[in-house]
Each structure stands twice: as structure tokens, then as C-alpha cells.
């Protein structure tokens, strides 16, 4: 009977009930941006269901991720998270879940570059001058992030390790509040995703110095920014990927419906356009398949764990 009930439930999933996507960072930030754009694109393929966002910030995304790992596995509570799924276990102590076993994988959504930006008014107008300013202000510079374990924290750590500089970290519940303080001059630097920084760079509210991708970006606002690799930090490459997850044990027919809806959403021209305007690249490869998504995350854990250990910031 149980199997038949599960199959019936899956048949009409979501059956008019709202689907919640937990975003493990503050509203208005880059993760929230991707989640809201994706929620919009999921409505139709989920039969007109309402897809709502629940911001649950904290501990580098592990508070929100833990909430989903513990949620009823019925398909109505999902998680949208980024590279932190692969790095938080190395950066945050006692994370109360195992990424490899406590989630079902519903597909990678996009890849997002990061930009190294500063508050307005610093006496530097290119990466070389920024490096000079940092060297001249040794021990006095602070850098924002979205908490230990966040993507902005990871990028900041790698940047300081690669440049042998030390900056004071200033944590926020997300990079939306962080960039507000950067614009206000309360903090000096931030490494953050283009999905958040592009509009502020375009508006001239912050100064942009480099991108963390292997190639320069096509966006008109960002095309003149050198890659950090070009600027001298050899092999400095951090691209933030976002994926959708359900709690382990969600019935297979429900997972299939959700993954099918993700595939439709990723082909939605409006979704793709919105993402492109913000420098993000919507996923089109095998990572949109559950197995491909899971393999990618496991490979990313293997890739970043030694890097984080080498940077001397492993939360063992
Ligand atoms: C991060 O820095 O990890 C997140 O992108 C921050 C956010 O989404 O607010």
C-alpha cells in the first residue's frame, strides 16, 4: 500500500501545495538571486505551483542545509546552495550532516564567477595599484564575507593565502549586507559573485579589480577586468556553482518530477537571460542529471579539501 500511496502522491506532486526552497544566506544576496530566478522558472513545469523562498542564513550555509537534511522527505522542502556544499565540511566544525549521504541531488543550476571589489574612493584604479594599496596598508585592511564557510569567505582566504597578506574578516549573514557596508565604506574589500556585484559595479558604487575565472568575462561592465591569474596569481580560479537538493529519502517519482522541472527551467529563455545579465552561466552539461550532480560535488570535495588545508584554514 505504501508504495502505491507514494506513487499516487508523486503522480499529482506538488498538487497545489507550495514548494519551499531554503536559501542558506540572507535575502538579496547572490544565492538568493539564483534561487528566486530559479523559483520563477520552476512554477510552470511544476504545474503552476507556488515556489517560495525561505532564507535560513548562518554557519556558511550549514544551518539552512541542516534544516533541509532534517525536513520531511516529501519534495516540498528543497535546498538551493552553492560551492559551500563541498567546502563547508572543511571550513566549519561539526557540520550536522553528510553532504554525500543526507541529500538527494536535483541538478546543478549554474556557474557564477566572482569579482574582487573594493569600497569607493580607494586610491587604486587597477589590480596593480590595488596590490600597492594593500601592501601600504598592511594590517589595516578588512574584508567582508558571508560567514565562515561562505563562498566569499573561501575566496578571501585563498586570495590572502596567494598574496601572503592578512586581512581582518568581517562576517555578515550574506553578501547583500556585506556589499551595502562596502558601498558605505565600512569595509574595504569583498570577493563576491557577479550575480550580486554586477549591478553595483555598473552603477559605479564599488570599484572592481579582477575576476576569479580562468577567462575574462563577456559582460560589457566586466570585460576589462583581468583574471587574477593574468594579474599574477597563477592558477587562482574560483567559480561558484549552485545546485538544488532534497532530503535523502524523498520518493524517486517525486525526485524525477523535480529534476525534470529543473531541466525545463534551465532551458527557460527568461531564466537564461536574467542569469547572463548577471554574469552567470546556466548549466547545460551532465551535471544537471542527479548522478552527474552528485559526482561533481564529490569531485569538488576532493578538489577543495586539500586546497583549504594548504591554506591553513582547515577546521579540523
Ligand atoms: C557566499 O558568499 O557564500 C554567498 O554567496 C553569500 C550570499 O549568497 O549572500
Over its C-alpha atoms, the chain yields an Rg (Å, rounded) of 20
In terms of Cα–Cα distance, which of 127, 83, 103, 90 is closest to 230?
127
Output the CA 83–ligand 1 centroid distance in Å. 10
| Cβ proximity of 197 and 179 under 8 Å | yes
What is the average pLDDT across 63-85? Answer: 98
Q: Model confidence over 211-269: pLDDT tens digits?
A: 999 999 999 989 999 999 998 898 899 999 999 999 999 999 999 999 999 999 999 99
Question: Cell 556557474 maps to which residue?
Answer: 111
In terms of Cα–Cα distance, which of 52, 46, 53 is closest to 264?
46
Q: Cα–Cα distance between 195 and 215 in angstroms, integer? A: 17
Output the CA 31–ligand 1 centroid distance in Å. 6
- Please check the confidence at residue 316 and state whether its pLDDT lies above 70: no
Over the chain, what is the mean pLDDT? Answer: 95
**HSE (CB half, 13 Å, CA atoms) of 274?**
17
Output the CA 175–ligand 1 centroid distance in Å. 5
Q: Which of 33, 153, 193 should be mutated for ligand 1, with most atoms under 8 A from CB?
A: 193
Q: Model confidence over 182-205: pLDDT tens digits?
A: 999 999 999 999 999 999 999 999
- Please check the confidence at residue 53 and state whether its pLDDT lies above 90: yes
- What is the percentage of the chain residues whose pLDDT exceeds 70? 99
Q: Model confidence over 282-308: pLDDT tens digits?
A: 999 999 999 999 999 999 999 999 988
Q: Which of 113, 116, 146, 148 should be mutated for ligand 1, with most atoms under 8 A from CB?
A: 146
pTM: 0.95
Q: Which of 29, 63, 81, 116 should be mutated for ligand 1, with most atoms under 8 A from CB?
A: 29
Alpha helix (H) residue ranges in the chain = 2-12, 30-43, 62-70, 84-91, 127-136, 151-163, 175-183, 194-202, 252-265, 269-277, 290-310
Give the H/E segment covering residue 54. strand 51-55
Task: Quote ipTM for the complex.
Answer: 0.95
pLDDT at 1: 63
Amino acid at each position: 500500500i505504501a508504495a502505491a500511496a507514494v506513487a499516487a502522491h508523486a503522480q499529482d506532486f506538488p498538487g497545489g501545495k507550495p514548494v519551499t526552497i531554503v536559501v542558506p544566506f540572507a535575502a538579496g544576496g547572490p544565492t538568493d538571486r539564483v534561487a528566486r530566478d530559479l523559483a520563477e522558472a520552476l512554477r510552470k513545469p511544476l504545474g503552476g505551483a507556488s515556489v517560495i523562498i525561505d532564507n535560513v542564513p548562518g554557519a556558511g550555509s550549514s544551518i539552512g542545509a541542516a534544516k533541509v537534511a532534517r525536513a520531511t522527505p516529501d519534495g516540498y522542502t528543497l535546498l538551493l546552495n552553492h560551492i559551500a556544499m563541498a567546502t563547508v565540511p572543511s571550513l566549519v566544525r561539526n557540520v550536522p550532516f553528510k553532504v554525500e549521504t543526507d541529500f538527494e541531488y536535483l541538478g546543478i543550476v549554474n556557474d557564477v564567477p566572482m569579482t574582487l571589489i573594493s569600497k569607493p574612493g580607494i586610491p587604486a584604479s587597477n589590480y596593480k595599484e590595488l596590490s600597492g594599496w594593500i601592501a601600504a596598508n598592511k594590517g589595516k585592511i578588512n574584508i567582508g564575507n558571508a560567514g565562515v564557510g561562505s563562498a566569499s569567505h573561501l575566496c578571501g582566504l585563498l586570495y590572502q593565502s596567494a598574496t601572503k597578506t592578512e586581512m581582518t574578516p568581517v562576517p555578515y549573514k550574506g553578501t547583500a549586507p556585506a556589499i551595502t557596508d562596502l558601498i558605505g565604506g565600512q569595509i574595504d574589500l569583498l570577493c563576491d559573485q557577479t550575480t550580486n556585484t554586477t549591478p553595483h559595479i555598473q552603477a559605479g558604487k564599488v570599484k572592481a579589480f579582477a575576476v576569479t575565472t580562468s577567462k575574462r568575462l563577456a559582460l560589457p561592465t566586466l570585460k576589462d577586468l583581468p583574471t587574477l591569474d593574468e594579474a599574477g596569481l597563477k592558477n587562482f580560479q574560483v567559480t561558484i556553482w549552485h545546485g538544488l537538493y532534497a532530503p535523502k529519502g524523498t520518493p524517486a517519482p517525486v525526485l524525477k518530477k523535480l529534476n525534470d522541472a529543473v531541466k525545463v527551467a534551465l532551458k527557460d529563455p527568461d531564466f537564461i537571460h536574467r542569469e547572463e545579465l548577471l554574469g552567470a552561466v546556466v548549466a547545460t552539461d551532465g551535471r544537471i542529471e542527479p548522478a552527474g550532480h552528485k559526482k561533481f560535488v564529490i569531485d569538488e570535495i576532493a578538489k577543495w579539501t586539500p586546497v583549504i588545508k594548504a591554506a591553513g584554514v582547515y577546521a579540523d
